[in-house]
Amino acid sequence: MNKIYLDNAATSAIDVSVIDVITKSMQTNYGNPSSMHQFGRTAKSAVEKCRKTIAKLFNATASEIVFTSGGSEADNMILRNAVWNLNVKRIITSKIEHHAVLHTIDDLKNENDVEVYYVDVDKKGVIDLNHLELLLQQSDKKTLVSLMFVNNEIGTILDVKKVAQLCKGNNALFHSDAVQAFGHYKVDLQEYTIDFAVASAHKFHGPKGVGFAYFRKGFGVKPILTGGIQERGARAGTENVHGIVGMTKALELAYSNLELDSSYISELKFYFIEQLLKHISDVEFNGDPQNKALSNDTILNVRFPVESAMLLFTLDLKGIAVSGGSACQSGSLGGSHVLNTILSKEEAQKTSIRFSFSKYNTKEEIDAVIEVLKSVII
């Protein structure tokens, strides 16, 4: 049985070249970056070289990059610093954010008496910017806006530049979980004027367990992990040297082939849409995947005309790896918080599947998936 991996928004296969640099680093660069001897200095030099390389890719400075274990830790670091260190009293977010953001904000609300407001979202997952502006103008309290760059379930793209302008015009800070954007889009952090952003290596063919938080220059960082002075005092714990080296290589590869890979992946996605509409009656899509300006290349969230609790399991048995979204697929009684927000109760109960693509997928794989879906749905 041929295995087909279409769950790249969850995690992606590590590029062979990334594995090579990680392996070499593990064999030759095993010093602790905090050690003063030559082995430690060599490791420290590797980490700082990576920091500079990553900063250059996003038009930032090295001092603005803090290495973390991934996106969730980075989101926690930023949100908690906003309240603990920057005197934020209000947070504006949406109900379709990643749980790393929503659950952390809930904690901050309960533990620090922070006011939390949710901006309206339309049925395609698009943030209502008029409502955002209204919320920003309602109070003079120090405010943080936290909205993700690309939604991880439905692929809807935020108008980041407009949100940044609204925040700046209303003296608010702006945090964006950019886990599904970094490595997939050119992001100039000076042009976008985001104050805080988050990346995770395994979303762009890098290793798991490593990412970074971006803090715009001028914002101090108090560690949420204590016990050491690593990362200039921002995060205790020995740096994941090999992971950082691998993440940097993955980013360099992503941006050296960005246009070609994006074009190829977009072609796959639209081919899949075309075949679904041709072969599956009454199929619908969550978000707005046919609008290139509003939807990213990699994610396609499909809502099938029936409720089938076994569809995800059936696809897995056929060797097809995807993610579920609706109540019967998600593994939780409440279902997808994203779909429950943007869909009616009736539509949210239908079976939704997230297919997400990478440069390693092929049209032949898409055809094979369509054949399986035809046999199950029709």
Instruction: Supply the residues annotated as catalytic.
Output: 328
Question: CA neighbours within 13 Å on the CB side: how many for 61?
Answer: 6
Partnered with residue 174 across adjacent β-strands are 145
Is residue 128 within 8 Å of residue 119, measured between CB atoms?
yes
Helices marked H in the chain: 16-28, 38-57, 71-84, 99-112, 129-137, 160-169, 189-192, 241-256, 258-279, 311-317, 337-342, 345-348, 363-377
Partnered with residue 156 across adjacent β-strands are 295
Count Cβ atoms within 10 A of the Cβ of residue 210 and give its class: 0-12 exposed, 13-18 middle, 19 or more buried: buried
| Structure tokens belonging to residue 107 | 């904690």
Is residue 341 within 8 Å of residue 246, measured between CB atoms?
no
Using alpha carbons, list the distances in angstroms from residue 296 to 121, 156, 175, 180, 303: 18, 7, 20, 9, 18
**Which residues are within 8 A (CB) of 182 and not within 5 positions of it... i.e. 6 or more apart?**
58, 197, 199, 203, 204, 251
Biggest alpha carbon–alpha carbon distance for the chain: 67
| Residue keyed to tokens 């890979």 | 261
Partnered with residue 302 across adjacent β-strands are 285, 353
| Structure tokens belonging to residue 279 | 């072969």
Closest alpha carbon to 352 in 125, 144, 167, 197:
125
The three-state secondary structure class of 300 is strand
